């Protein structure tokens, strides 16, 4: 009995020494691009996108679920595309139609005048001589030579107005990309919740005082969503397909985090490895990147002026290369002055997200269901 215990103690000691040696052997990385590449894989969802279709793709990532806390402050100017270039094309066809009708009318009227006066002149003088004298040969020679020279001025100058519409049509396409800067206040913006990408569920509570109807609680249980505004006791039942951004899908906030990492790893920016720092979850690589609008707008699929210059700080955990924290700050005069921080934790260890009790879900009234 004693021998068995001693063997077990020795085995446990050897395992602990081996684990310690393995931990010491895994030295921190110094290649910032390798760190970012590992972080992209770690923060990519593991579930299949568009399952059951020809576009089905399974991501090789390691992210299944997480807890997050978002805080923001300041103000940004977000570029919204304005549909003002519509009057330009409407102006171009109007002069072309007017000008094409005016020259066409002038030659036709000239042709009708050449025929009408010739008839009227032949009738006017021919009646007076025919009434005074009965000789028929005298009016015929005078009437026939005069109408023949009159059709000669009919080489109409119609081709001359045709180049004018082409010149007037050129300024039409110039004012195509027009954007209006909309100020968005981020002061006291806060959101917190859990996201489970495997089960397509999420539970988020947040407030953004700068935007109306952007505060409250949201529970997503695919394919349903339950939402309620601050102070309400009942949830409203709806379809999660009605959400502009579904947090429970890989195309939601998880995709945004991936694109932010792709921006940091882009060859047009120069990420800097500040060093290793101790975060609440563990040791983390601190990486700083100075962002430019062209790279940010391209990676996020934004058209025109949407984002300005700014600084992105990332803290990527040594263990698993999950992004523990990211902070974006900007003081671009054309974009605004603001800061956004997202802290992530509890990776792949989120508790199951359940729908609210049925008694807390608002039932549709008879008036709303009546046809």
107-154 pLDDT, tens digit each: 444 444 444 444 444 444 444 444 444 444 445 454 445 555 555 555
330 within 8 A of 76, measured Cβ to Cβ: yes
* Mean model confidence pLDDT for the chain: 74
Q: Which of 70-79, 150-159, 204-213 has the lowest mean pLDDT?
A: 150-159
Residue spans per domain, the chain: 31-82+180-195+249-352
Q: How crowded is the C-beta side of 225, counted as CA atoms within 13 Å?
A: 19
Taking residues 246-260, what's their average pLDDT? Answer: 92
Q: Which CATH topology does 31-82+180-195+249-352 take?
A: outer membrane lipoprotein receptor (LolB), chain A (2.50.20)
**Residue 290 confidence (pLDDT):** 95
pLDDT digits (tens, 9 = 90+) for 310-326: 999 999 999 999 999 99
**Residue 136 confidence (pLDDT):** 46
91 within 8 A of 176, measured Cβ to Cβ: no
Residue 275 gets the label, from left (phi > 0), alpha (psi -120 to 50) or beta, of left
**Measuring CA to CA, how many Å separate 161 from each of 27, 105, 120?**
79, 13, 33
Q: Could you tell me where the DSSP H helices lie in 170-236? A: none
pLDDT of 241 strictly over 60: yes
Q: Could you tell me where the DSSP H helices lie in the chain? A: 2-25, 32-42, 87-91, 93-132, 139-143, 163-169, 253-264, 293-299, 366-369
pLDDT digits (tens, 9 = 90+) for 185-197: 899 999 999 999 9
In this structure, what token pair is assigned to residue 68?
A: 């997050």
Closest CA to 267 of 44, 32, 28: 32
Q: Which of 90-99, 209-218, 358-367 has the lowest mean pLDDT?
A: 90-99
pLDDT of 59 strictly over 60: no
Q: Which of 71-75, 238-242, 270-274, 306-310 has the lowest mean pLDDT?
A: 306-310
pLDDT of 365 strictly over 80: no
**Residue 218 confidence (pLDDT):** 97
CA-CA-CA-CA dihedral for 105, 110, 111, 115, to nearest 10: 140
**Residue 334 confidence (pLDDT):** 75
pLDDT digits (tens, 9 = 90+) for 218-239: 999 999 999 999 999 999 999 9
In the block, tokens 């009919």 appear at 154
Going by pLDDT thresholds of 50, 70 and 90, the confidence category of residue 80 is low
Taking residues 189-209, what's their average pLDDT? Answer: 95
Say which residues have a Cβ less than 8 Å from residue 286's Cβ, sequence separation at least 6: 273, 274, 275, 276, 277, 313, 314, 315
Number of other CB atoms surrounding residue 235 within 10 Å: 21
């Amino acid at each position: 009995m004693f021998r068995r215990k001693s063997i077990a103690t020795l085995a446990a000691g050897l395992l602990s020494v081996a684990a310690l040696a393995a931990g010491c052997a895994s030295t921190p990385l110094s290649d910032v691009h390798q760190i970012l590449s590992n972080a992209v894989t770690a923060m990519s969802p593991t579930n299949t996108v568009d399952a059951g279709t020809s576009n089905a793709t399974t991501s090789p990532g390691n992210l299944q679920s997480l807890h997050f806390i978002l805080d923001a402050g300041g103000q940004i100017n977000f570029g919204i595309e304005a549909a003002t270039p519509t009057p330009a094309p409407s102006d171009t066809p109007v002069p072309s139609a007017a000008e094409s009708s005016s020259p066409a009318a002038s030659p036709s009227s000239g042709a009708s005048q050449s025929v009408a006066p010739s008839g009227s002149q032949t009738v006017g003088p021919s009646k007076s001589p025919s009434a005074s004298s009965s000789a028929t040969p005298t009016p015929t020679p005078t009437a026939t030579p005069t109408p023949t020279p009159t059709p000669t001025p009919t080489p109409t100058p119609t081709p001359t107005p045709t180049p004018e519409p082409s010149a007037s049509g050129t300024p039409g396409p110039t004012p195509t990309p027009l954007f209006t800067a909309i100020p968005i206040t981020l002061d006291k913006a806060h959101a917190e919740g859990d996201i489970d990408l495997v089960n397509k569920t999420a539970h988020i509570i947040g407030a953004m005082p700068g935007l109306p109807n952007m505060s409250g609680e949201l529970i997503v249980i695919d394919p349903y969503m339950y939402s309620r505004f601050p102070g309400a006791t009942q949830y409203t039942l709806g379809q999660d397909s009605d959400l502009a951004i579904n947090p429970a899908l890989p195309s939601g906030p998880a995709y945004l985090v991936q694109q932010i990492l792709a921006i940091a790893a882009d060859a047009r920016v120069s990420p800097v490895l500040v060093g290793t720092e101790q975060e609440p979850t563990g040791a983390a690589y601190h990486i700083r990147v100075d962002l430019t609008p062209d790279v940010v707008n391209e990676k996020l699929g934004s058209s025109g002026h949407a984002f300005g210059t700014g600084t992105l700080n990332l803290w990527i955990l040594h263990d698993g290369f999950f992004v523990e924290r990211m902070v974006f700050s900007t003081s671009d005069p054309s974009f605004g002055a603001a800061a956004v921080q997202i802290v992530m934790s509890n990776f792949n260890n989120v508790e199951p997200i359940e729908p609210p009790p049925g008694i807390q879900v608002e039932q549709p009234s008879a008036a709303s269901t009546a046809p």
